Structure formats: C-alpha cells, structure tokens
Structure 1
C-alpha cells in the first residue's frame, strides 16, 4: 500500500513538472476546428513591467525604431512617418534623461491586467513622469490589441502632451543632442554609472561606519555583552539596517541626479535585489542573536534539550528565509517560479507522508520541552522503564535504567505516555506500620505509642503534619500506623533519616521490653494422646515466615 501511494505521488509530481495536461486528439471521423496558435509578443509588452523593461533595453541600445513600437501610434507606412516616430522616441528618451523618472521595477505590475487599485481605468497604468518647462507630465500606458494580442504601450494622450510641450521648447532644450564624444556603457555615459555607484558606496559606507561606532560604544557601556539582549539586538540589526537605510536614501537621491534614465532605471531595478539581501541579512543576524541568547541562558540552567530544539528552529528559519529571498530575486529577474513552487508543494506532501513518524517525533519533542514533564538528570518512571534521564533529543529521549542499560523512547510515544517524575517531589513519605505482639499489655501498648510519637517529634526532618495511631488489631499483632513526611528533596538524605528513625524506634521499644511481632503460623496436632506432652499440653509447631525449618515450643494452654 505504501509503495502504491509513493508511486502515485511521484506520478503527480512528474505531471506537475510537465505542465498542464492537453486534451487527447479527436477521433478521425470527428471534425474539430484547428486551434489558433498564439505566439508571445516579441517585444514583451504583455505586462507593464515587461513593457518598461523592453523599452529601457531599446533605449540602451539607442534603437529608436524599436523604441517607437512601444508608443500607441499607427504603424508607420512611409519613411516620413517612420522618421517622425523615431524623432518622438528620441525626444522621449531625452525627457527621461533630463528630470524624467520611471517607477522602480519592483513596483510595476507583473500581471497582464495591470493594477486594479490605482484609481485609474482598468486599461491604464501610470509608470512615471517627465518634466517639460517645470511641469510634471505623467507617463501613462494603455492596453490595446495589436496583431490579435493585448499589449501595453505608452498612451497616445501622453505622447500628445509631450509633443505639444516640446513644440513650445527651443531646439536643444530637451537634451536631444547629447555629446558625441562620451563613452557609453550599456547605453549610458560612464560618468553617469560612476556617479550612481559612487552615491551608493558613499551612502552605505557612511551609514555602516555610523552603525559600527554605535555598536562599539554600546559594547563599552554594557557590562556583560553576551547576556545583554539589547546589545545583541543592536549588534545584529544595525549593519543590515544601515544597508536598508542606504537603499532608501539611494532611491531618493538617484531620482534627483542628472543621469541617464538607462543607468538610473537599471541600478534601481537591481537595487531591489540589494533590498532583499538586506532583509534576509537582517533576518539571519536577528535569528542568530536570539538563538545564541536563548542557548546561553539554557546552558546556564542545564537544559540541554532546549538547546537542540533552538538549533533546529534556527536552521529551519534560515532555510525559509533563504528560500523566500531566492524567490524574490528570481522574480526581480522576471523568472516565473509559480510552476516550481506548485511542484515543490506536491513533492512536499509526498515527503511529509513518508516522514510522518519523524514529524510526529519532532512535534513530540516540542511538546515535551514546552510541558517540561522531565529534564536531564531526573529519575523517572515511564511505563515499565525506571531510570535517570540522560538526554532529550530532537527525535528521542534516552534513559539510563537501574541495570545500567540505555532505553531509547521516541518523543512521539513519550509525550503520549504517563510519566512519573521522582525528582520533582519536594518531600518523601514515611509511612511504616509497626506491629507489636499480642503479649503486649495495654500499658505497654500506650508506652509503645508514646515512644513512636516521641521519636517523630524529636526528628527535625519530619514535617509538622504527622500522626502515629493504633491503626488496627489484626489476627497476628497490634498495628501502629505512622503517617509523616521527611522534609527533604534529596534522596540520600531521606534514606539516612529513614534509617535513623526506624533504628531509634526499634531501640527504644527493645529497651522498654516491647517485642515486635513477626509473621508466624501455629499448627496444633491433637488426637488419641499422640503428640501430647507429659503435662497434657499439645505440641505446637511454629514456622517462621523467613525459615523453612519448624521449631517446637510449649504453649501454655490446654489442648483439646
């Protein structure tokens, strides 16, 4: 049955990786319409994000013919129309380089339908703005059909506003004529790349230096830095926080620098990766700081089992952080990871079914640690197992028995069983039954009670709430029942106190001539004069409970 389940999940996993299942071909005698094949847009204009990315690539290559295809205008049918489109693309590029801006890559919608919560029509998106004559003009894109496909392009209304504004500007004021002797790298001048990278290094370096000085000052002020939670938090948080703050400052200042839109937009796009790295760096350092602080405290309390769980949780959180950061970075590069995540989900279900006992033991270990029914060093009883706990691990607990053997119990079973912890008791029960013989008179019985009470009263380790009473008259002895507690949590101490109490009681009873009863059995033989002594008394054979040899003694009562 397990093999069939594993095979089924493996089959589903392969189907998930293979993609959607297509319909089977129709029967030969059935006429089915031919399915129209839809090819992806070669300019990648399906989503606002991919459209902006393609436009930036075209501007970086100074390919204004291709850049013009991202404008919502009729297709050029003549050389004049083509030159007009190229001129508009060049002018738009110049406006972006001189005070214009586009939204960061991560904030643009990666859905074909665009954003629906931006208070714009469903077929419109705002991707940035340009400045003409100190007036901000939004850059809007619209979704329309081109060659049977829905694509996003810069709206004709935006192009009209830009064209009307640029017609009122003197020639060259829009920056259309760039110096021809500048060396370009990836479509932008080298000085622009240097200016942006220098800004990033300067901002991050300055903030990192400030954070290092703050941590050094706190280290001098804190007495025990290893045990200080505030210091550990700031030590872990300040370096990645300085990187996050540097990213925010870079976003703000980069928009104001007179640099090429290609360099600015490219660096702002990959600055999102730096943001993800900063967040993951902050999370990893914070997890390490918290776990090390908890481990140090637990080691001082000799709770080693919690150290194992904290270590496991730290590794798990780190793995999750790295996985989510990887997904965020892949999304920044435009890689769709939805199919991979679905496949991993099916594979995770199959793995969970195969490792359900391991998961059960892991949950059991967390339950044992949270409920704390036992700790390392405790003397416990679990079912038929009696011994000392040596280790509480992630999967199982090891117990050293009285025979000096090791018994390993899975934590899943341990958490569901009854656990008797002898180490957790605060005092020990002292509850002996003192039996005196029938030969004891009533006065001697009163004296025996007084002796037992006196011994209990003289012992300082006996708790105040004790009692010693004549508990019963059995067929063999008078029973004096003692109920008291030895007020100590140490096993060796209570053993010594118990021995001293019993020895003192016996010694005083012996000095008073009061004999303790012992288990015995009397057998009386009677018949026709056989087995009788000379004075007519019967012979009694008394058997000691601890001996197999009978002994005969005279009984001072007439035989029948």
Structure 2
C-alpha cells in the first residue's frame, strides 16, 4: 500500500487495541506479571513513536496502516469492479455510479446514473471485463503491468473500430484510505458515445417471453442462450479437432508411428477444450450477451482453460511414462521400470497440486500464503529426505549411464563382487566370501567403479626373478625362448607381447613379461596363465639358471648350485646365434614371429583336451 503524503488516521479509531491489552493486563496482573507487561507496553509505544516521527532513527520504516472497510467494497480493483457489476445486475445505477470517478465530469447524480447505464450497454455490445481472478485484489493494485502505480487496466470496449481501454484508478476516500474507481479518462470517452439505439444481436434473436423474465438482473433467455452456446462451441471444437486428428496421419506419414500418434492423442482433448473456450468467449461477445452473464462464466472459462492444460500435462506424462516403461522392459531393466513408475507417480502428484492451486486462484482465492507454506514445507521435506533424494538420483544415474548391470563382476571402493540387484535406494553385491553387501545408490554412483564384465582380454604380467649367478648369455637365451613361447601360443596376442630384462634388483635379476591373453572368462584366463607359467619354469630350467631366493635365504652345503652343463649348453646356443646372425635381440624378426605363430604346444602334450579338437585351441572359444 502506498503511504507517501498520506496523513495517518487518528489514534482514536484504533488505539493500539487497548481493549485487548486491558484484558491481558488483568490476566497477567493476577499472575503477578504486571510489571513485565508494563515495560513491554512502554517499549512497544516507544518503538511506534520512533517509526512515526521522521528523523528520529537512521532508517525510515514503513508502517502498515489498517483502514476501516469501505461500505461499497472499493478498497481494491477486484472488489470495486465486482461491486459495479453487482450494482448493475440489481438495476441500482445510483449505487453503480459510486464506482465511477466523476471528478472531471459535470456534477449531478443523473449524470453518474446515465454513465453507469451507458457503460453497461457498451460492455454488453462490444466490450469485455477481465476475469475477476486476473484483476488485482491488492489495495495497491498491480505493479507489473507497465501502467502508473495508481492505474490498472480491467477491460476494453470496441466502438466503430476504436478501442477504448477501461482503467480503474486509485483515489483517496474521506479517511485517506484507497478507493478504486473507474477512471475518468475512460468515462470521458464513453460519455461521447450515443447508446440510445443500441440493440444487441441476442435481443433480436430471443422471443419476448424469454426476455420478460429476469434472472439475476438478466433476461432468462440469455442464460439459456449462454448454456446452448457453450454446448455448440464444444461441438464445433470437437468436430474440427477430430477431423484434424484424422487427416494429419493421412497427410504426414510420420504421424502414423506410435510416438507421434501418442503425442497427437495427448493433445486432442486439451485442444478441443481450448478451442471451445475461445469460440465461446468470441461468440458470446459478438452476440451481445450481458456482461453480467459473461462475468459469471468468465471464472468457469478460466478454470476450463487450466483444466485443459492440466489434462495435456497428465496425458503427456502418461504417454512418456508408458513409452519409457516399455523401453525398459525391452532392455530387461527391472530397476529402470521402477524409476519410470516412481517418476510417473511424482508427475501425477505435481499436476494435481498445480491444478488445485490454479483452480483456487481462478476462483479468486488468495493462494500466496498457501504457496509460501508449501514452499517452506517442501524445503523442510527436501532437507529431511536429502539422503533419500540423493539415493534416488544415484539410481537414475546408474540406470541411464549403465556403468554396471545385474550380473556384472565389479569393484566399488573396497567391495568386490557380483551385482545381484539395482534398486531404487540401494544396490546389492554378492562378494567373493558369498556375503551380501548393500551399497546406497548415492554413494555407489559417486564412487570409482571398476567393471570387470566389460574386459575384452586379460593382462598377463609376471616378473621373473633370477639368481645373481645367471650369466648374460643365459639371460639372452631366456629372453629369446620366452618370447618364442609367447609368440607361439595361440591364445596370446602378439601385439604387444614382450619380454624384457628390466632391473638388477637387490636380490635378483628381473625379467618383465607383458602380454594379453585372448579369452572370454576369468576361468579361461587362469587356465592359460597356468600353462604359460609352467612352460616358463621349463625354459628357465633349460637355461641352466634358476629363480632367485630372497636375500635372507641361507645356503647350506646340500645346495647343488648351478648346472655347469646346462649353462655351457645355453652359452653355446647363444654363440651359434651370434655366428649365424640369428640372435633375435633386441627385437624379433617379423618373419620369425610369423613362423612361430600358433606353433606352441597348447593344450600341453598329454592333456585330455588334445583329443577333443586337435586344433590346439580351447573348445568353444
């Protein structure tokens, strides 16, 4: 409410509720708290005076002044317009003139009465008033309409192609309170229009016996005509939209698909209602149906428009939910179906809440307080259910990104096992110890996830530690023979497959083996790994050296030491490689690799798998 330049009402009108204070004083006095109340009252009075007297505080504070009720209900734009419509419905044009700002017009009751009657007739013919829910019920009016603070637009009239805006203006009453009246700027233009011979189309159509009987200040025929017009408008809208829904698939092939067809069906009913409302508003204005009747139905049209919008949201939510549910079923994602059903229920609840708020607002109920309470309640609920919401968002992330699926073997943090279930709140993992661990989805989705199910091959990476008595030629022999072993094996990928002498360790000479084994399962990998390690032990043994013991190992006399004969053989083999330029170091000759490819003895000689295929490969791979 605006108070600049407005004198404050006398204190005698409402003396700070002294009556309630007196009653309270007696009660508190009986309880022994009189002095506490006295000081509180003194402090309150001091604060009020500090607010009322300018310049006594560093910051001027606004005071909400309560004005007495206006007998005609003109404290805000909505009640003032409603009062004017009610007055003309009662044919009380003298009271209706009290809602007009006649300060710039010739004085006299008759002048105001004539203007009130003329305004009604023009509104009946080619005018409209905004629905009441669209007109501000704030004593200060609307602040977001781009008009001066004391002016609000409430309707318009079209006469001979000229559009006359109907404004309502804030004035000051005898008690300096706000009084909203139809602006003199609009009344000046209305006063220049002759309304003597105005006959509306509805007056020509209705028979006399339907015009003689009055219902609510309007001929009964107009009420009946309005109801019939509403039914006719819906019939027209239904025919037009049904025809379009039938023709669109014939003209547009994509509209025959399930997705587009579902969207068209979702829009069908809302469009029928929207078109029916629009036709009703246009036809009722063109027919000249009384503004009294149209204002009664204006709230209904707004409600129907909101209902149409809510039906559209509902149908779209149902269609999207059903479509997403079917997609999840086709993928076999049970948890995805659960998320879709939850989101669909949440959308339904949101649409219902939005519908209730919209309908109450259309009926003129102030929902600001309810929205504020709903916002605070929603914030409190969100804070209380923070972990639940976090887990739900985590489950949605797991389903959309799909870093894991049911049946996958994975590691999440310190947990390793097989995923058994992905639920709305948590995920269950069966560990290697056969225990069941439940991990909240919020924690799960934010953790580092290692999924072994997506592994395309297995890494074979042993490090062989040789005794320090091993000679360089023996190491060269081992490097060549071990590479031959990898290149020859049918399940070892040759690229990369490397064997390198990498380190003179504190207790051993270290040879690094790096290769990938082309198998599908972990069991197959262990099988091939076992075969390779056994063959590597054979190669090390044939070289005349051995694996190193830890440096703490004590050597006793029983230790036979290294085989001099095998060492001599390895050295002679390396010598021949040198003489014949056949030493495959530092790299193997590609032609030699091709010769060795798939020539390895695998499965090993004597294995039962040899008789199954004779191909040297694991059956089924």
TM-score (norm 1): 0.72
- 2:518 pairs, out of 479, 487, 498, with 487
**Equivalent in the alignment of 1:52:** 81
Number of equivalent positions: 501
The residue matched to 1:468 in structure 2 has which SS?
A: strand
Q: Is 1:151 the counterpart of 2:179 in the alignment?
A: yes
Gaps of 5+ in 2: 1-20, 25-36, 53-63, 565-621
Q: 1:296 to 1:515 in 2, by over 3 A?
A: farther
How far, CA to CA, are the matches of 1:173 and 1:249 in structure 2? 18
**Partner of 1:528 in structure 2?**
none
Determine the structure 1 residue equivalent to 2:619.
Answer: none
Cα distance between partner residues in 2 of 1:159 and 1:412: 65
Residue 376 and residue 39 in structure 1: after superposition, are their counterparts in 2 closer, same or farther (change >3 A)? farther
Instruction: Give the corresponding residue for 1:101.
Output: 128
Picking from 350, 361, 368, the partner of 1:320 is 350
Q: 2:460 aligns with which of 430, 438, 444?
A: 430
Q: 1:190 to 1:342 in 2, by over 3 A?
A: closer
Match of 2:9 in 1: none
Go from structure 1 to structure 2 and tell me whether the alpha carbon gap of 1:440 and 1:30 turns closer, same or farther (over 3 Å shift).
Answer: closer
Cα distance in 1 for partners of 2:540, 2:65 equals 111
Displacement of 1:386: 1.1
> Over the residues paired in the alignment, what is the CA RMSD in angstroms?
4.7
Give the SS at the match of 2:357.
helix
1:261 positional shift: 1.6
Q: Once the 2 structures are TM-superposed, how far is the Cα of residue 398 of structure 1 from its aligned partner?
A: 1.5
Residues 311 and 257 (structure 1), Cα distance of their counterparts in 2 relative to 1, 3 Å cut: same
SS at match of 1:198: helix
Residue of structure 1 equivalent to 2:608:
none
Aligned partner (choices 235, 238, 248) of residue 205 of structure 1: 238
Q: Secondary structure at the match of 2:516?
A: strand
Where 2:126 maps in the other structure, the secondary structure is coil
**CA gap 1:45/1:204 in 2 versus in 1, 3 angstroms:** farther
Deviation per CA, 1:206-230: give whole Å up to 9, x if none: 24413542576599866762xx4x4
Is contact 1:391-1:398 (8 Å) kept? yes
Higher relative contact order (CA 8 A, sep 6+): 1
More helix by share: 2
Cα separation, partners in 2 of 1:174 and 1:125, compared to 1, 3 Å: farther
Helix, strand or coil: the match of 1:46? coil
* Candidates 325, 334, 343, aligned match of 2:373: 343
User: Hey, what does 2:313 align to over in structure 1?
Assistant: 283
Q: Aligned equivalents of 2:359 and 2:333: distance in 1?
A: 40
Shift of 1:42: 4.6
Q: 1:519 to 1:208 in 2, by over 3 A?
A: same
Per the alignment, residue 334 of structure 1 pairs with 364
Q: Residue 124 of structure 1 aligns with which residue?
A: 151
Q: 2:414 aligns with which of 368, 384, 387?
A: 384
Q: 1:138 to 1:519 in 2, by over 3 A?
A: closer
Correspondence list, 1:492-503, <5 A? 492-502=523-533
Asked whether the 8 Å contact 2:460–2:529 carries over to 1, the reply is yes
- In the aligned structure 1, how far is the partner of 2:163 from the partner of 2:484? 102
Task: Tell me, in whole angstroms, the C-alpha distance in 2 between the residues paired with 1:116 and 1:344.
Answer: 24
What SS is found at the alignment partner of 1:465? strand
| Equivalent position of 2:70 in the other structure | 41
Does the 8 Å contact 1:470/1:479 carry over to 2? yes
For 1:467, the equivalent position in structure 2 comes to 498
Aligned-partner Cα distance in 2 for 1:173–1:245: 24
Query: 1:520-539 counterparts in 2 under 5 A?
Result: 524=556
Distance 1:129 1:472 in 2: 94
SS in 2 for 1:482: strand
Q: CA deviation at 1:465?
A: 0.6
Using the alignment, how far apart are the partners of 2:166 and 2:386 within structure 1?
Answer: 55
Asked if residue 404 in structure 1 is aligned to residue 419 in structure 2, the reply is no
Separation in structure 1 between the aligned mates of residue 317 and residue 44 of structure 2, nearest angstrom: 66
State the partner residue of 2:119. 92
Quote the offset at 1:387 in angstroms: 0.6
Partner in structure 1 of residue 391 of structure 2: 361
* Displacement of 1:430: 0.9
Secondary structure of 2:434 counterpart: coil
- Change over 3 Å in CA distance of 1:485–1:232 after alignment to 2: farther
The worse-fitting range, judged by mean Cα deviation, of 53-62 and 115-124 is 115-124
Q: Equivalents in 1 of 2:323, 2:157: separation in Å?
A: 52
Whether the 8 Å contact between 2:200 and 2:287 is mirrored in structure 1 is no
Q: Which moved more, 1:122-131 or 1:22-31?
A: 22-31
Secondary structure of the corresponding residue to residue 99 of structure 2: coil
